[in-house]
Chain A
């Protein structure tokens, strides 16, 4: 006689898996990757390739030989970390710097906390910040590499828009003068010819990725919206106070990795809050800290640090901002 299978309800399972979610994020990153390959050519491919391979290898080695657990590289989470790390580096970075970043990201930020789901800080960001602090020269060298199929590119102007502005302001120039001098335009930022890390070349490609993530319900819009909203409000206040020495809000959100940070870094499942309220506060915190770092800090960017600082508050946010419970407020009777 046939032996029945018995298990507690529910007997069906949705189609989503850790693997499919990670794969969706990788797919959402692909427009940015393609655009950067178009602009930076081989070096973008090289960085992405080294990042993915290095992260997967480091995770494999740690799981197999050090902690001797099950090898879980097939869930794509290490590959995603590698890709994100690569997309956050300057296009001209040497390959070994990606490798060091990967070792730090996976080995220090992820596996030492216990692997997937246990880490407090976003691994890719820890890798990036480690490199930024350890190799400041390489990490701020925005020279655009010569490309095989796009020769006409202006290889001399490599600095990011933000560092140009910061430098210009320190020289006593006003925003209008800087804009005029460097011929900035918003359309340029959307499709980008501006220097920056590999992944943030085109705001449009990043927004395309956001759209994909939202449609596939991989992430919810709360975190990106609250980050961008807060930045718009706060940088808007500074801009209104002194428009000649503060960049306007649109310029602020289109530069310095705000988009890639808020769409792909801050929304990392593991290191972001669980409840809607928590997400909004987390996003607002990132926005405020970013604006503060940009206006008063030493770094022209700042969203990386802002996200890492807010990562540390996530357990607290989870504890204090619970989802609204059903039946708490009785409206009648």
Chain B
């Protein structure tokens, strides 16, 4: 029997309607809007000025502070301005605006299709290379990868887990790269194992992607023996870090802990590919695979999209904003962020643009809680969302902490399954932020 995590979870219709659309290059846009804050942590500091010529792959903003990442130009052309522009949330963020002229790449980038496996680099050199190329986690949080690959002193990684679960409905970008560039991903995994100093990696793939499992198993049995492919039962939120570790290794990350506390580092398949390209091909992270999908669209697409394409560019490429769509989501339907401004541009960690119609996404009217416990049954962290919702509305932070609101992974399973349409996660998220702030503000023992 296939593995899966131990508590909660839901089974939404996976709607992977774009699974068979091969990856195509996104037409290079006229203007690129490159945000300096594409990662978790401090925004990068621009190193170019208005009027500068930049090439594709050139460093345009340098990491500042410990948790930060370099940012590279995704196009070649002239910097026309550095200004505050709205991101997808409408918050004003510094963007480097480049007027595109041709598509001239830096000479150092290896653009040949050859697959290179050998490396002589040491662990530290690999991590430095990853940092230099500005690789961030592509699973959603955009945490700088080089920091995740350098465990804090006193903690040692035992295993590397590769997240190919792609448990969110609709998303297919990870599936496409697993099918189209499997060997590159496995080399990326090997590089990360070398960086971490571990000799075993587990690669979790959900069973609704049999093609990917087949391709990967064939390769690993032939020549990548240190990587084990683990088929997982289809269940949301399998791709959550804690759930994936539980599913594959039966280890549970403690409350407020990190995967490294149980000797594990989790990386996304997209990140593995970016690591391969950064280390072996010298290519900084400035483009990624983005699924553009929705039941209201006639044609489903998987694009290789440069960073800095704004929503209008993307909509133009698919032939205009579909008439029935009311909501544009960056990411999957369960945890993705609703885009509030069409001026917002794509970033490194963008994995999908999903278009939903009013019928699919409009929230129903909130009813009374009937205490059906569907939220309790679906919570993968064993919390009681109905209770947390009530406590949050009453502002009882002590009780919220006692009921572990800070463990919530914001997967949305509770709200998905609530028959009374109660906005459980809205209120829980608010309480979680407040409680975590209080916990962090306490003096450490």
Contact = CB atoms under 8 A, between A and B. Distances in A.
A331 B420 CA distance: 37
A41 B211 CA distance: 59
A173 to B, nearest CB: 46
A13 B342 CA distance: 25
Contacts of A293: none
Nearest to B156: A333
A171 interface: no
Contact of B425 (A10, A14, A75): A10
Given A220-B377, A327-B252, A274 B419 contact: no
Nearest to A220: B377
Interface in B342-372: 342, 354, 356, 358, 360-364, 367-372
B263 A13 contact: no
B217 interface: no
A12 B169 CA distance: 10
A14 B337 CA distance: 19
Given A5-B338, A10-B412, A11-B361, A327 B370 contact: no
Contacts of A11: 327, 329, 333-334, 336, 338, 354, 356, 360-361
A329 interface: yes
A4 B372 contact: no
A57 interface: no
Interface in B314-351: 321, 326-329, 333-342
B371 A274 contact: yes
Interface string B250-292: 1111110100011100000000000000000000000000000
B242 A326 contact: yes
Contact of A1 (B249, B333, B342, B372): B342
Which of B7, B262, B382, B421 is packed against the most chain A CB atoms within 10 Å? B382
A189 to B, nearest CB: 32
Given A4-B338, A117-B371, A9 B376 contact: no
A4 B421 CA distance: 21
Nearest to A279: B373
B373 A325 contact: no
A274 B252 CA distance: 23
Interface stretch (A15-23, A174-182, A202-210, A284-292): A15-23
Contacts of A116: 367-368, 370
Interface in A10-38: 10-14, 16-18, 20-21
Nearest to B420: A18
B373 A274 contact: yes
A326 B360 contact: no
A323 interface: yes
Contacts of A10: 333-335, 412, 415-416, 425
Contacts of A327: 242, 252-255, 257, 381, 407
Contacts of B337: 9
A196 to B, nearest CB: 29
B417 interface: yes
Contacts of B386: 274
Given A9-B335, A326-B7, A330-B262, A21 B371 contact: no
B384 interface: yes
Contacts of B334: 9-12
Contact of B338 (A2, A7, A270): A7
Contacts of A326: 6-7, 242, 246, 252, 380-382, 407
A68 interface: no
B17 to A, nearest CB: 14
Given A325-B381, A326-B407, A13 B255 contact: no
Interface string A299-333: 00000000000000000001000111111111111
Nearest to B414: A10
A325 B262 contact: no
A323 B375 CA distance: 11
B404 interface: yes
A178 B83 CA distance: 93
Given A7-B338, A9-B337, A16 B374 contact: yes
Nearest to A275: B376
B371 A4 contact: no
B304 interface: no
B336 A9 contact: yes
Interface string B371-397: 111101101111110110000000000
Which of A77, A118, A327, A332 is packed against the most chain B CB atoms within 10 Å? A327
Contacts of B423: 8
B69 to A, nearest CB: 24
B340 A4 contact: yes
B169 A8 contact: no
B10 interface: yes
A2 B242 contact: no
A66 interface: no
A269 interface: yes
Nearest to B426: A8
A321 to B, nearest CB: 11
B340 A6 contact: yes
Nearest to B236: A10
Which of A9, A77, A269 is packed against the most chain B CB atoms within 10 Å? A9
A323 B373 CA distance: 11
A116 to B, nearest CB: 5
Interface string A105-148: 00000000001111000000000000000000000000000000
Contacts of B381: 325-327
B197 interface: no
A12 B383 CA distance: 21
A333 B251 CA distance: 9
Contacts of B419: 14, 16-18, 20-21
Contacts of B379: 323
A72 interface: yes
Interface of B: 6-7, 10, 12, 169, 242, 246, 249-255, 257, 261-263, 321, 326-329, 333-342, 354, 356, 358, 360-364, 367-374, 376-377, 379-384, 386-387, 403-404, 407, 410, 412, 415-421, 423, 425-426, 429
Given A10-B335, A13-B421, A21-B419, 11 more contacts: A4-B328, A5-B338, A12-B169, A12-B356, A18-B420, A77-B370, A117-B368, A117-B371, A325-B255, A326-B381, A326-B407
Interface of A: 1-2, 4-14, 16-18, 20-21, 72, 75, 77, 115-118, 220, 269-270, 272-275, 318, 322-333
10 contacts: A8-B429, A9-B338, A11-B329, A12-B356, A220-B377, A275-B373, A322-B382, A323-B379, A327-B242, A327-B381
Q: 8 closest pairs, A vs B, by CB?
A: A10-B412, A117-B368, A269-B372, A325-B382, A274-B373, A327-B252, A326-B381, A333-B262
